[in-house]
């Protein structure tokens, strides 16, 4: 079996500078936290609905596993997690299997049927998920669905597994009660983490994703623009969260402005500081009730107090600071969109490389699968617990160490291990190699060209 990998960067793959120091510092802090992940095997059970292409299932599973390892600084990696996977054509089968496992709170509002109804109204399917609460066994859980074929080069769908996993961490810290959280804190954090995972292997790919996200923001009203005053006003008006609500879409603005707000916090306080803040918000759950401010006016004052104690800045001043970042980055995104390709495969060979691994290989798969940076998945039968082996950077003294070779992570490359691929051939930058005695060895007379650094 041959593996062919095209890592050539097209000539039109221009580069741009980061929009500001907030963007750069937050990105560094995310990558630093990722390097400190728990290298153990997670306690995840994947429920893959029959008929779901194995290529899609493998991709989603691997993303969930690395998200689980990443968040181990908050929740132990042995904490049980249940994940239900299906493509859109099997959404009703997913609901039939998943809904009975949920608590009444997790099933409230008809949100699963709402997803199914929206899928029926689209021609090409939807991609997304949901993380309602702990199930009847008190296990963290969420579901993922995607149209077939998925838009491989678009980061918005590949961020979904880590996005939904982030919601399970929020529920872990707040006992599944989101009343103290603003919607932008819920979806903005998940969106920011998902964006970083989607473009984790190449900063230009991350820039492309970030620019696309910012450019997708709805305008505040007809003829208006997102000025600093408009942004601050929007944040101040988002206080009434009403945590217990019927099904319905959260405004896209929460995802986008919330992601920039999270970027600001990650840059200044790192992820550890943010998670402490979320944990401290659990102390005001009783004050906030259901998050409806007309009936619980003291909720917002309690939130502001927790925010001030953790970040030493009032929320009003925070909104002013974030608004300045948003204005700068929106201007940058409009310019970057003229230069950067919307297809992130232009910049990063993974996660969107045309790479078929030996993890549940599907010879009829029409979409690529990939292995995430640092992680190679070993999966047994559908529905069984997955385990993982780790490769990549080593950590010394809590600091990420340099790559031991110049090639992108987790692809066949000379002198890397190749478990389970004995005698398999692969090509990289025009040079061929063979897996021999568990190591990728260059074939006689072969050389590897210049690597595209991640």
* The pLDDT of residue 164: 94
At 60, list the tokens. Answer: 């989603």
* The pLDDT of residue 406: 55
SS3 of 143, please?
Answer: strand
For residue 433, what are the β-bridge partners? 426, 442
Angstrom distances, CA of residue 270 to CA of 22, 28, 138, 178:
12, 10, 29, 22
SS3 of 217, please?
Answer: coil
Sign (positive/negative) of CA torsion 36, 41, 45, 48? positive
Could you tell me which residue, 290 or 113, shows the higher pLDDT? Answer: 113
Angstrom distances, CA of residue 349 to CA of 203, 229, 248, 261, 285:
12, 41, 37, 29, 44
Eight-class DSSP state of 369: B
Give 444's contacts (C-beta < 8 A, 6+ positions apart).
none
State the Cα–Cα distance between residues 386 and 294, nearest whole angstrom.
46
Minimal CA–CA distance to 197: which of 357, 66, 348? 66
State the Cα–Cα distance between residues 90 and 382, nearest whole angstrom.
15
Output the CA angle 76-78-82, nearest 5 degrees: 110
| Segment among 79-88, 301-310, 413-422 with least mean pLDDT | 413-422
pLDDT band at 323 (very low <50, low <70, confident <90, very high): very high
Average pLDDT over residues 173-180: 88
Are 165 and 128 in contact by the 8 Å Cβ rule? The answer is: no
Residue 417 has pLDDT above 70, yes or no: yes
Give 387's contacts (C-beta < 8 A, 6+ positions apart).
41, 42, 378, 379
pLDDT band at 157 (very low <50, low <70, confident <90, very high): low
Give 249's contacts (C-beta < 8 A, 6+ positions apart).
none
| Span 239-251, pLDDT tens digits | 766 654 443 456 8
Rounded to two decimals, what is the model's pTM?
Answer: 0.76
Average pLDDT over residues 422-435: 75
State the Cα–Cα distance between residues 341 and 338, nearest whole angstrom.
8
Looking at every residue in the chain, the average pLDDT score rounds to 77
For residue 48, what are the β-bridge partners? 85
Q: How many CB atoms lie within 10 A of CB 285?
A: 18
Residue 383 has pLDDT above 80, yes or no: no
Question: SS in 3 state form for 61-115?
Answer: HHHHHHHHHHHHHCCCCCCCEEEEEEEHHHHHHHHHHHHHHECCCCCHHHHHHHH
Give 273's contacts (C-beta < 8 A, 6+ positions apart).
265, 310, 311
Sign (positive/negative) of CA torsion 283, 285, 288, 289? negative
pLDDT band at 125 (very low <50, low <70, confident <90, very high): low
State the Cα–Cα distance between residues 374 and 206, nearest whole angstrom.
18
State the Cα–Cα distance between residues 239 and 237, nearest whole angstrom.
6
Residue 381 has pLDDT above 50, yes or no: no
| Span 214-241, pLDDT tens digits | 999 998 877 789 999 999 999 998 876 6
State the Cα–Cα distance between residues 38 and 72, nearest whole angstrom.
6
pLDDT band at 196 (very low <50, low <70, confident <90, very high): very high
State the Cα–Cα distance between residues 72 and 321, nearest whole angstrom.
30
Give 143's contacts (C-beta < 8 A, 6+ positions apart).
83, 84, 85, 86, 94, 98, 112, 129, 130, 164
Eight-class DSSP state of 361: -
| Segment among 25-39, 193-207, 296-310 with least mean pLDDT | 193-207
273 phi, psi to nearest 5 deg: -65, -40
* The pLDDT of residue 430: 66
State the Cα–Cα distance between residues 7 and 4, nearest whole angstrom.
10
* The pLDDT of residue 450: 40
Residue 1 has pLDDT above 80, yes or no: no
Q: How many CB atoms lie within 10 A of CB 320?
A: 16
Task: Reply yes or no: is the peptide bond before residue 351 cis, omega within 30 of 0.
Answer: yes
pLDDT band at 372 (very low <50, low <70, confident <90, very high): very low
What percent of the chain lies above the pLDDT cut of 70? 74
SS3 of 32, please?
Answer: helix
- In the chain, what are the domain boundaries? 2-346, 412-454
């Amino acid at each position: 079996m041959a593996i062919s990998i095209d890592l050539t960067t097209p000539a039109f793959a221009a580069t741009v500078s980061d929009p500001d120091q907030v963007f750069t510092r937050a990105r560094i802090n995310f990558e630093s936290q990722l390097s400190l992940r728990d290298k153990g095997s997670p306690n995840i059970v994947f429920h893959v609905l029959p008929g779901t292409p194995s290529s899609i299932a493998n991709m989603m599973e691997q993303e969930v596993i690395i998200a689980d390892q990443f968040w181990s600084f908050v929740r132990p990696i042995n904490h049980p997690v249940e994940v239900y996977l299906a493509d859109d054509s099997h959404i009703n089968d997913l609901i039939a299997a998943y809904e009975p496992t949920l608590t009444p709170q997790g099933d409230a509002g008809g949100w699963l049927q709402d997803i199914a109804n929206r899928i029926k109204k689209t021609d090409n399917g939807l991609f997304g998920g949901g993380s309602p609460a702990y199930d009847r066994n008190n296990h963290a859980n969420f579901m993922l669905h995607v149209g077939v074929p998925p838009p491989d080069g678009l980061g918005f769908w590949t961020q979904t597994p880590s996005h939904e996993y982030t919601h399970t961490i929020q529920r872990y810290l707040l006992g599944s009660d989101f009343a103290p959280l603003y919607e932008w804190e819920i979806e903005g954090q998940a969106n920011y983490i998902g964006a970083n995972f989607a473009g984790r292997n190449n900063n230009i790919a991350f820039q492309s994703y970030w620019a696309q996200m910012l450019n997708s923001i709805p305008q505040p009203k007809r003829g208006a623009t997102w000025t600093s005053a408009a942004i601050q006003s929007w944040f101040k008006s988002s206080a009434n969260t009403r945590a217990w609500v019927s099904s319905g879409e959260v405004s896209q603005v929460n995802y986008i402005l919330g992601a920039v707000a999270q970027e600001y916090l990650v840059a200044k306080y790192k992820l550890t500081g943010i998670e402490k803040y979320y944990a401290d918000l659990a102390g005001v759950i009783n004050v906030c009730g259901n998050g409806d401010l007309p009936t619980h006016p003291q909720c917002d004052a309690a939130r502001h107090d927790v925010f001030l104690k953790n970040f030493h800045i009032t929320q009003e001043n925070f909104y002013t600071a974030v608004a300045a970042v948003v204005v700068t980055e929106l201007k940058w995104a409009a310019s970057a969109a003229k230069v950067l390709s919307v297809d992130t495969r232009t910049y990063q060979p993974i996660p969107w490389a045309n790479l078929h691994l030996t993890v549940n290989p599907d010879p009829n798969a029409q979409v690529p699968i990939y292995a995430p940076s640092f992680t190679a998945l070993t999966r047994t039968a559908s529905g069984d617990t997955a385990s993982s082996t780790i490769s990549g950077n080593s950590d010394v003294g809590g600091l990420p160490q340099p790559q031991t070779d110049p090639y992108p992570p987790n692809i066949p490359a000379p002198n890397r291990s190749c478990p389970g691929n004995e005698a398999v051939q692969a090509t990289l930058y025009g040079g061929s190699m063979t897996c021999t005695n568990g190591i990728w060895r260059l074939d006689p007379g072969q050389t590897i060209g210049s690597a595209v650094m991640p």
